[in-house]
Amino acid sequence: MLDIKFVRENPDAVDAAMANRQTSWDREHFFALDEERRSVIAEVEQLQATRNTESKKIGELMREGKRDEAEAAKEAVRRVNEQIEGLADRRSALDSEVADFMAHLPNIPCPATPVGKDESENPERRRWGTPRDFAAEGFEAKPHWDLGTDLGILDFDRGSKLSGARFTVLAGAGARLDRALQNFFLNTHLERGFKEFIPPVIVNREIMYGTGQLPKFEDDAYHTGEDQFLIPTAEVALTNLHAGEVLDAKELPLRYTAGTPCFREEAGSAGRDTRGIIRQHQFTKVEMVKFATPEQSDDELESMTAEAEYILQQLGLPYRVISLCTGDLGFSAAKTYDVEVWMPSYNAYKEISSCSCSCLYSSCKYRYCIFKIKYRDPENFKGTRFVHTLNGSGLPTGRTMAAIMENYQNADGSITVPEALRPYMGGMEVIR
């Protein structure tokens, strides 16, 4: 979350940031809560000082034989303790209320993030590859859901029978392709300096808060118990590996990756991408996470985006990169690049990777950090500072499979396997 000291000292900056995000915050309520909380803390501290003073008197008075005065001091301490106890509940309630307020306050966009009202104002940065002209080749491209059904590699009916809407059974070459993609993604990242993890797919409530999944996206999360959730992305687990730790600057940047099943209720997606495997409740995704110093984070965000692009280039899939504007920025993100792959069924580019930095500015004056990961660099400064955390998709297997099926389809309904994946598919060149 945002550093409360920064919010307290820079409310005008928060006003501007929320306006650029097309949202608002209750400035008056924040300062009322903050003032009352600080007042209660100050009162408790004063009472504790009084208690300490009176407690010291008791021993002295007893040694001097002044029993009546010592008893009076004990009574004073007892009354002070009662006052402290009486304030404890109010302090606890205020702490919770302030924490909840701050948890609902989105991050401040980076100055480099373009200002805009919504996704229609996201500027395009670059494109790679040229979409196929199927008409020039003499046939009409099919959507992946038809291709997959005809080939028997996507079974939507049985997925629905087993689990309901937005679940799909992958069969035969479809199952093998999904597994091939995950292995290809992970091996590529490992070759390029990432460290692989297999984290739990069930995490507790605190960990979900740690990456901003809660409280805003609780309706999209799958609960497995009162305080446990299925992960919506491996980012949740990977980022929190170092929660509460102090890292050595010499170790940074750290580059982590993991391939896991992911689970999302998609509560807010009614009517969107209802066909095919673009938006599923369960899917496999390879995630990238980085921990960097503020000075490293800009370069690391660029290189993370380049990682996702490199994979698409190896697969020969046309794509474009856009910068998310302030009105389309994710809740905890300060700066984001979306990589969108060409999908013939939509006749448009669709998001396949989102790469973000969730902390701000090399000065670390503006801070957004729930997981409280810090680093020390005694050669350059005293104490500790917050690390910058970055995450990106590298990639989801389902969306990549859909893109391959549509972009590599043939007139007879078969699908050519990209060369980069053939070693992972036992040499298979065509799915028939």
- Would you list the DSSP string of 20-40? HTT----HHHHHHHHHHHHHH
Alpha carbon distance 425, 413 (integer Å): 19
Helix (H) or strand (E) holding 44: helix 27-63
Q: b/e per residue, 96-106, with b = 16+ CB within 10 A?
A: eebeebbeebb
Q: Give residue 267's pLDDT.
A: 59
Instruction: Please say if the pLDDT value at position 369 is more than 60.
Output: no
| Contact present, 162 and 171 (Cβ < 8 Å) | no
Alpha carbon distance 201, 250 (integer Å): 30
Q: What's the distance, Cα to Cα, between the start and end of the chain in Å?
A: 50
Instruction: Please say if the pLDDT value at position 354 is more than 60.
Output: yes
Mean pLDDT, range 360-364, rounded to an integer: 38
Alpha carbon distance 253, 297 (integer Å): 9
3-class DSSP state for residue 140?
coil
Up-side HSE of residue 60: CA atoms within 13 Å toward CB? 7
**Which has the higher per-residue pLDDT, 124 or 51?**
124
Cis peptide preceding 215, ω within 30 of 0: yes
β 246-248/228-230 pair status: unpaired
Helix (H) or strand (E) holding 307: helix 294-315
Q: What is the pTM of this model?
A: 0.88
Mean pLDDT, range 158-182, rounded to an integer: 96
Q: Where are the domains of the chain?
A: 26-103, 119-431
**Residue 77: C-alpha distances to residues 70, 80, 84, 325 (Å):** 11, 5, 10, 58
Residues 254-298 have pLDDT tens digits of 999 999 999 998 755 556 667 899 999 999 999 999 999 989 999
**Which has the higher per-residue pLDDT, 207 or 186?**
186
Alpha carbon distance 306, 339 (integer Å): 10
| Contact present, 321 and 339 (Cβ < 8 Å) | yes
The CATH number assigned to the domain with range 119-431 reads 3.30.930.10
Cis peptide preceding 329, ω within 30 of 0: no
